[in-house]
Amino acid sequence: MSDIDVAATPPVGGMDHHVSVDPAAVEPRAAADGGPDMVQLLTPEGERIPHAEYDEIVDALSHDDLRGLYRDLVLVRRFDLEATSLQRQGELGLWASLLGQEAAQIGAGRAMRKQDHAFPGYREHGLAWARGLDPMRLIAMYRGVDKGAWDPAEFGFHSYTIVIGNQSLLGTGYAMGIQRDGAVGTGDDARDAAVIACMGDGATAQGDNNEAFVFAGVYNSPVVFFCQNNQWAISEPNARQTRAPIYKRADGFGFPGIRVDGNDVLASYAVTTAMLDRARSGDGPSLIEAFTYRMAAHTTSDDPTKYRISAEVEIWKLRDPIARYKRWLAHEGIADAEFFDAIEQEADELGEHVRAATVGMADPEVGDIFDQVYVEPHQQVADDKATFTAYQASFETAEGA
Amino acid sequence: MSDIDVAATPPVGGMDHHVSVDPAAVEPRAAADGGPDMVQLLTPEGERIPHAEYDEIVDALSHDDLRGLYRDLVLVRRFDLEATSLQRQGELGLWASLLGQEAAQIGAGRAMRKQDHAFPGYREHGLAWARGLDPMRLIAMYRGVDKGAWDPAEFGFHSYTIVIGNQSLLGTGYAMGIQRDGAVGTGDDARDAAVIACMGDGATAQGDNNEAFVFAGVYNSPVVFFCQNNQWAISEPNARQTRAPIYKRADGFGFPGIRVDGNDVLASYAVTTAMLDRARSGDGPSLIEAFTYRMAAHTTSDDPTKYRISAEVEIWKLRDPIARYKRWLAHEGIADAEFFDAIEQEADELGEHVRAATVGMADPEVGDIFDQVYVEPHQQVADDKATFTAYQASFETAEGA
Amino acid sequence: MATQKSTIAKALNAGLRKAMENDPKVILQGEDIGKLGGVFRITEHLQKDFGEDRVIDTPLAESGIMGTAIGLALRGYRPVVEIQFDGFVYPAFDQIVSQLSKLHSRSRGAIKVPVVVRIPMGGGIGAVEHHSESNEAYFAHTLGLRVVFCSNPEDAYWMIQQAIECDDPVIFYEPKRRYHEKGEVDFDAPAASRDLFSAHVVREGTDVTVACWGPMVKVCLDAAAAAEAEGRSLEVIDLRSISPLDIEAITRSVEKTGRLVVAQEAPSFVSVGSEIAAMVTERCFYSLEAPVIRVAGWNTPYPASKLEELYLPDLDRVLDGVDRALAY
Amino acid sequence: MATQKSTIAKALNAGLRKAMENDPKVILQGEDIGKLGGVFRITEHLQKDFGEDRVIDTPLAESGIMGTAIGLALRGYRPVVEIQFDGFVYPAFDQIVSQLSKLHSRSRGAIKVPVVVRIPMGGGIGAVEHHSESNEAYFAHTLGLRVVFCSNPEDAYWMIQQAIECDDPVIFYEPKRRYHEKGEVDFDAPAASRDLFSAHVVREGTDVTVACWGPMVKVCLDAAAAAEAEGRSLEVIDLRSISPLDIEAITRSVEKTGRLVVAQEAPSFVSVGSEIAAMVTERCFYSLEAPVIRVAGWNTPYPASKLEELYLPDLDRVLDGVDRALAY
Ligand SMILES: Cc1ncc(C[n+]2csc(CCOP(=O)(O)OP(=O)(O)O)c2C)c(N)n1
Ligand SMILES: Cc1ncc(C[n+]2csc(CCOP(=O)(O)OP(=O)(O)O)c2C)c(N)n1
Ligand SMILES: [Mg+2]
Ligand SMILES: [Mg+2]
């Protein structure tokens, strides 16, 4: 047909451009649904799907509990939106929005008992809320007033962790401590404890998370790995982080993995409850993949229009976690318009409180730079603090003079 | 029955001593066989078991090839034993014996094509042999003359790697390079290439190896992860490294894992051949778990009597890779006593050669300390070399005077 | 086109593009460097123009990025790796220290690993933890690596090209708070005409020498301008490379001025500043009128961002260092 | 039992045992530390006596070991981690730098992470690559960590106990080539009676101060003995702790002698020796008769073991350093 020798034509840029795997070929597109293995109790339309294993857990919830979940979802979303707008107005250095992931986090957080411990990343505002952490602590961190200075012991909620993967190992070690305290499998509901260790979809690629799987498996430790697959790691889709669906990772480490609809608060609650029970009773670790979507930018510094199409976001809007839950509550007659209005009102108040408290937040003590580097005195830090203090004082003297 | 309150008795050392998982409960003991999933073509008794998938590959081997494998096994074992005894006599700083793992390595090494590349750990003497590396290069490294100074490009056999896990990522990156060179899936037998990346059973716990699985999966790279499960990581059994059988790890990363009898040279050859073919033709990575046993100490510095019972070693002696292969060759009439004698003779010669060459090996050049730290000049290294040289010279002057 | 105004960010982008055009073996790897163009947009448009096989969005695993980059280098490629922020290089530390820095000497020269590791470094952008670190001391102490910093658009352009051409592994630090500062760049000048590893006297002076690199160069130049108003003449040296260290250039200046201030963002304790002080004192023992003064980040972890202004050495602290040197 | 002859290895074992007896929260983690007792037998018999839950054989993953140790500390335990060899600490570097060293300040003091990281360090045992490194500079530069070295059996015994009692994370270096050297140990002396973080003048002298730590202490003491024969009086200081650095002790000695030699196995470039030189020069500018002389491993990766004798500073090189200091 042609006298051009095709084989001899050098590929563009010296490369064969067919070597990359087409992401679409190995993993469903981000807009895809979670597939048949996904545990879903509430459809996006708010219809309740029966489930042999999990109905019992959900059915045990009182109407108060169920309304409480709704309240959590709405308040956390409002808080998050307020934080985003505070950042836009220059009041925060950065904000990582949880928009779209409320159900995954509230479901998991409310499945925890007092004695359980959560090891979060940097986007776990819903989990923090469920653990009783004052949201202003999160604001303080993103405002740059501190680095996340709460006491984990107080809330069973550990430091926000920015370095991807680190917290899973900390959580696993903590769970090893629970074992050594004899607080697993005693049957005492107030004693047996477990850990939730959070990770994102992108984070599953990190060595630390896989080592956490190894340790938890080998020691049969009471830790639930809770992966929020929000489809994106900044600009990279799932297919750039793993070739297999995330929940399938667990099996090769010797424990169960489950995919749950992360936009379904009942499913997230039920599956997490079951896995925490399993852990507390001594049956070891598990991996929950909460299939959800990051509706906002990665953080306020990010511009998602560079890498994802809005049609995808539109599809996920139809799967909104709050809308479906509200529909179901109303349809079942568990909550009425008055209740919804009251929550709306409370949300407004929370928003206003957060705004006022942020704007009025005191700057940190300058001593913070030096004072908690070590528990016990350290000569070089002490010397630097003295130099710093004298240096600062020299200005005051100069100004005073 | 007793008036002692059991619950109130504090556990010894403040701990509940029942929290550890019993290793035996989660993984078969080291002496167990590989289970029904294991690919085996030759029984320990030397009987050939037919296999629908792999017979074809083995049947394609000529009698010369088959005798060649025997020669490899015997010579490598002899070399290894000689090295061990040289170490005992103070000629080597250390030796890591491959005793018992010859078949796994020779099978894999002979399945490679010239253009393939292997990324070894520190015990891959059989693989090195199959790639044509002069065994004296290995001796030089363990003698402390150099740090493994061969040119990987020359042999398709990369540096010995001591830091557990590092080489799998290097191998995966190399495989990504093969893809970019358009040397995958072209159908040209002399062009399409693949990588073998080695790891031990203990090494599967390391973050790097799991990240290598992630990268290879995501990019569908032509790399075969070759894990020699010799049941021990120094003193720790498999159960301390993973809760699930190793070959099952692969599935959760999106590619196949296969357990093969690592003491069966035919099976190791066949499975590796199939997986390398798969990789070269563009179908991506795989994990081979070669189920074998470390018959010797971890290294000459190790004392295995501290942690394993000799009965276990006795069981594995009955599964010796060379004995079973010899039996089969003889039974099939592929090799006769004369051949076996000739190989024995050759092995003796090799042993003598290695001994003589080791004892006579020149010490390294002192310049080696400085000369290959950088490709291009570096002021501080140059300054140190000058100082060193002057300092050395000062003694000569002093002695001369 | 002669010289043109550009930012460091754009100059780096242009330098990477030029290197990729010149050599098909140059490939980029990192998190979000493809469609997004990197969180700082340093690789913007490069994936579109050079394809996904040369501008590789990697899984979120720095040891993996580094290890596969070394593997690609073993295959003959010249990978340029982007570490998203300074504080995220540590998962790759093992691959950098155990493999990247050592393969050449391990193999007695048979292996070359021309990998460039780009790290946006330093503070001053109001970021959360782990995003403001100056960790050059770790890599400078790791023999087998080269460590360089660009401080302005002009240098950024040719330095990144030279780093890529260098057959040794190079840690290439970029002062992230200066990414968008402008300067003249001669995009036609051949990269090879300068020396990546020699220091540059960016301002001549006679009273005190000030050695600095990366983001501190501008601070020190500003300090020198301010000092001039007070009748003090500072000589400012942009070291560019801290491994190797162009000690001759520093000592030449110190022999003249008799005084040296080293300014860096990193904590002083066991740092590059310590090394410069030690070396200069050894070499200029009789010409030094004062001990070498180090102006540095405090010996603490990087603080919450509301405190970073008090942490980072600024113009006043540099001048205070100068005063201290002159007080002898 | 009064004092008794012991090796460093046995003294460490006894110190660990004592700490475990005193506090049920003390637990050990590492590769092969159980039945085997560690590759150097430092934890010998401890698993037998304290059980598998307090002496934990871990998977082969250093980041995992470190991360879970931190997690255990968060639960109120006091983990003592064994890194099998110096060159294998790097996979744990991220956990050490990003979490271990920073959790206390991140939490404004709410969190304590009393983890001890034991590292058999240094060369001289004819080992293969990665088994002979002196990497203390990395950790000394990491504020939030404490870094100490024992140099003899007596110190090994009480220092390990104090390190375990310390509420800050401690990198505890053990000079592997000296594990089996003997010395007197008072096993009854309470550990608390000394100060882990203060330097110790191990030999008084008047002409030159020699500062050293870990395996170099013996070399320097031998050098001092040899120097005495030539009529030179060396004052030898075993620093014990390099972070914090007992700079007062060093300057006190230097004010007396006017000369300082720092001896270390690590390469000199951007090292603890650099810091000592910089600090001492700042503090003793007018009393120093000579610049601080550093005697160190060469600025290269650790060489093949047949060359290590030429790499490691020995008695002659220390004396050469002394000569150089005295030549001013
Ligand atoms: C070790 C490390 N590398 C890189 C980063 C920069 N970074 C912050 S978030 C992020 C993506 C995380 O994606 P994912 O795990 O899916 O979590 P998500 O943000 O979607 O909740 C990256 C690359 C980091 N924080 N830590
Ligand atoms: C990162 C790292 N940690 C620790 C070691 C020390 N070490 C050398 S070999 C070994 C056990 C390896 O076991 P396995 O992976 O099963 O390989 P095998 O020795 O059995 O071939 C250990 C812990 C090392 N070399 N690298
Ligand atoms: Mg995500
Ligand atoms: Mg093994």
Torsion angles phi and psi, residue B200, rounded to 5: -95, 175
pLDDT at res. A32: 79
Ligand 1 site, CB within 6 A: A 123, 162-164, 200-203, 230, 232-234, 294, 298; C 31, 60, 62, 84, 88, 91
Instruction: Please work out, in degrees rounded to the nearest 5, the angle formed at the alpha carbon of residue B331 by the alpha carbons of B329 and B332.
Output: 65
pLDDT at res. B21: 43
CA D137 – CA C143 distance, rounded (Å)? 13
- Rounded to two decimals, the pTM is 0.96
Ligand 2 site, CB within 6 A: B 123, 162-164, 200-203, 230, 232-234, 294, 298; D 31, 60, 62, 84, 88, 91
Using a CB-CB cut-off of 8 Å, the residues of chain A touching C50 are: 13
**B126 has pLDDT over 80:** yes
Whether the Cβ atoms of residue B324 and residue B332 lie closer than 8 Å to each other: no
pLDDT at res. C225: 98
Question: How many C-beta atoms surround the C-beta of residue D326 within 10 A?
Answer: 16
pLDDT digits (tens, 9 = 90+) for D129-147: 999 999 999 999 999 999 9
pLDDT at res. D53: 97
Residue recorded with tokens 């709460």: A150
Do A159 and D77 lie within an 8 Å CB cutoff? Answer: no
Q: What is the mean pLDDT of chain C?
A: 97
More confident residue, A295 or B8: A295
Q: How distant, in Å, are the alpha carbons of A275, B95, C199, D308 from that of B141?
A: 50, 10, 39, 14
Question: How many C-beta atoms surround the C-beta of residue C25 within 10 A?
Answer: 20
Residues near ligand 3 ion, CB 5 Å cutoff? A 200-201, 230, 233
Residue B227: partners with Cβ closer than 8 Å, 6 or more residues away? B198, B199, B200, B201, B203, B204, B246, B247, B287, B288, B289, B290
pLDDT at res. B399: 62
**B90 has pLDDT over 50:** yes
CA D91 – CA B145 distance, rounded (Å)? 27
Give the number of whichever ligand sits closest to the CA of residue B125. Answer: 2
Which residues of chain D fall below pLDDT 70?
Answer: 1
**C46 has pLDDT over 60:** yes
How many distinct helices (H) and strands (E) make up chain A? 15, 7
Residue recorded with tokens 């200075």: A149
In a 13 Å sphere around the CA of D63, the CA atoms on its Cβ side amount to: 37
Torsion angles phi and psi, residue A223, rounded to 5: -130, 135
Q: Report the first-to-last Cα separation within chain B, whole angstroms.
A: 92
Give, for all 401 residues of chain A, the pLDDT tens digit: 333 333 333 333 333 333 444 444 444 455 578 999 999 999 999 999 999 999 999 999 999 999 999 999 999 999 999 999 999 999 999 999 999 999 999 999 999 999 999 999 999 999 999 999 999 999 999 999 999 999 999 999 999 999 999 999 999 999 999 999 999 999 999 999 999 999 999 999 999 999 999 999 999 999 999 999 999 999 999 999 999 999 999 999 999 999 999 999 999 999 999 999 999 999 999 999 999 999 999 999 999 999 999 999 999 999 999 999 999 999 999 999 999 999 999 999 999 999 999 999 999 999 999 999 999 999 999 999 999 999 999 988 766 55
pLDDT at res. A85: 98
Q: How distant, in Å, are the alpha carbons of A71, A84, A102, A349, B118 from that of A345?
A: 11, 20, 19, 6, 66
CA B209 – CA B227 distance, rounded (Å)? 10
pLDDT at res. B33: 86
Whether the Cβ atoms of residue D129 and residue D87 lie closer than 8 Å to each other: yes
In a 13 Å sphere around the CA of A256, the CA atoms on its Cβ side amount to: 14
Of C292, C273, C289, C270, the C-alpha closest to C281 is C292
Question: Does B243 qualify as catalytic in the annotation?
Answer: no
Hey, is the C-beta of B362 within 8 angstroms of any chain C C-beta? Answer: no
**D282-294: b (≥16 Cβ within 10 Å) or e:** bbbeeebebbbbb
Strand partners, D145: D143
Question: What are all long-range contacts of A393-397, with beta carbons under 8 Å and residues at least 24 apart?
Answer: A394/C320
Q: At A277, list the tokens.
A: 């029970």
User: Spelled out in words, what is the top-level CATH class assigned to the domain A13-359?
Assistant: alpha beta
Question: How many C-beta atoms surround the C-beta of residue B187 within 10 A?
Answer: 9
pLDDT > 90 in chain A, percent? 90
CA C11 – CA C32 distance, rounded (Å)? 19
Strand B232-233 relative to strand B236-237, pairing: antiparallel
ipTM over 0.95: yes
| Out of C94, C105, C274, closest to residue D301 by CB | C105
CA D214 – CA D202 distance, rounded (Å)? 13
Whether the Cβ atoms of residue A149 and residue D108 lie closer than 8 Å to each other: yes
Give B275→chain A minimum CA distance, Å.
Answer: 18
Q: How distant, in Å, are the alpha carbons of B105, D27, D34 from that of B15?
A: 45, 11, 17
pLDDT digits (tens, 9 = 90+) for B21-67: 444 444 445 557 899 999 999 999 999 999 999 999 999 999 999 99
**B5 has pLDDT over 70:** no
**B183 has pLDDT over 70:** yes
**C4 has pLDDT over 80:** yes
CA B140 – CA D289 distance, rounded (Å)? 47
Whether the Cβ atoms of residue C65 and residue C94 lie closer than 8 Å to each other: no
Q: Which of A159, A164, A307 to mutate to test the pocket of ligand 1 (most atoms within 8 A of CB)?
A: A164
CA of residue A244 to ligand 1 center, whole Å: 19
CA A118 to chain centre: 10
CA A162 – CA C140 distance, rounded (Å)? 26
pLDDT at res. C189: 87
Q: Which regions of A171-319 does DSSP assign to beta strands (E)?
A: 195-200, 223-229, 232-233, 236-237, 257-261, 286-291
Taking the CA of residue B230 as reference, the ligand 2 atom at the shortest distance is 20
Of D229, D239, D234, the C-alpha closest to D273 is D239
Test the A interface: residue of D96, D98, D101, D107 with most A CBs within 10 Å: D107
pLDDT at res. B31: 59
Question: How many C-beta atoms surround the C-beta of residue B314 within 10 A?
Answer: 10
Test the B interface: residue of A243, A249, A253, A258 with most B CBs within 10 Å: A243
3-state secondary structure of D92: helix
CA D217 – CA D214 distance, rounded (Å)? 6
CA of residue B208 to ligand 1 center, whole Å: 18
pLDDT at res. A29: 53
Run of H or E including D170: strand D170-175
CA of residue D36 to ligand 1 center, whole Å: 40
**B13 has pLDDT over 60:** no
CA D305 – CA D127 distance, rounded (Å)? 6
Q: What is the mean pLDDT of chain B?
A: 93
**C123 has pLDDT over 50:** yes
With an 8 Å Cβ cutoff, the interface of chain A facing chain B consists of 11, 15-16, 19-21, 26, 179-182, 184, 204-208, 210-211, 214, 217-220, 239-244, 248-255, 257
Instruction: Please work out, in degrees rounded to the nearest 5, the angle formed at the alpha carbon of residue A378 by the alpha carbons of A373 and A381.
Output: 65
